[in-house]
A and B are shown apart, each in its own frame.
Chain A
Amino acid sequence: EPEVTQTPSHQVTQMGQEVILRCVPISNHLYFYWYRQILGQKVEFLVSFYNNEISEKSEIFDDQFSVERPDGSNFTLKIRSTKLEDSAMYFCASSDGRNTEAFFGQGTRLTVV
């Protein structure tokens, strides 16, 4: 069964450093997302990406965040200067259309120290 894969599974970084989280969505999917989940809390929408551009972003997704689809398979989330409060599980997701199942990756646990 096809699945969304994310790397790394765990990233520890120092405050102020840049991190790049990587995702490989399911190959025929057209819509890509990043969500985050702070430990013990709900899953929060960060950004959606369609047709090679951001289609929507949340208030969390400020100027420190960016997304890119550098080639036909990868989808990345960059945090330019990490803060302690960026520590969370980051999930990538993809879907093949509107109002269809969003498949989640296994997540990257980001710890900012």
Chain B
Amino acid sequence: GENVEQHPSTLSVQEGDSAVIKCTYSDSASNYFPWYKQELGKRPQLIIDIRSNVGEKKDQRIAVTLNKTAKHFSLHITETQPEDSAVYFCAASSSYNTDKLIFGTGTRLQVFP
């Protein structure tokens, strides 16, 4: 079945360092890949997304790369700040039926001052 694997499960970095979170997906029909940030007890919020016709997308300190051949995509956060601390979920969507999102297992990012 459809599956998204995400690594690492936890990530601790010093403020100012970079953080990288990696995901792989199984459904080759997936063509939309959002990343969500979830703070404790709150709703998931989209931080960046990428579509399969694009290899890389950047928005200020956040970037996402996609390798369709390898079915692999990554989130890069540069110059991390304590407020970046949260759980990050990658997801993959297929347009065959609907835009249901298959989520990864999440990465708990802690940024230490």
Contacts and interface: CB of A to CB of B under 8 A. Distances in A.
Given A55-B98, A98-B95, A99-B95, A42 B46 contact: no
B103 A43 contact: yes
B interface SS class: strand
B93 interface: yes
Contacts of B102: 45
B98 A31 contact: yes
Interface string B68-112: 000000000000000000000101010101111111111000000
A28 to B, nearest CB: 16
A99 B32 CA distance: 6
Nearest to B44: A104
Nearest to B4: A42
Given A42-B105, A43-B103, A106-B42, A48 B49 contact: no
Most buried by A among B32, B46, B49, B98: B98
Taking residues whose C-beta sits less than 8 angstroms from the other chain, chain B's interface range is: 20 to 34
Interface of B: 31-32, 34, 36, 42-46, 49, 51, 89, 91, 93, 95, 97-106
18 contacts: A35-B101, A41-B105, A42-B89, A42-B104, A42-B105, A45-B102, A48-B97, A48-B100, A56-B100, A98-B98, A99-B32, A99-B51, A99-B93, A100-B99, A102-B34, A103-B46, A104-B43, A106-B42
Given A50-B98, A102-B34, 5 more contacts: A43-B91, A45-B100, A99-B51, A101-B46, A104-B45
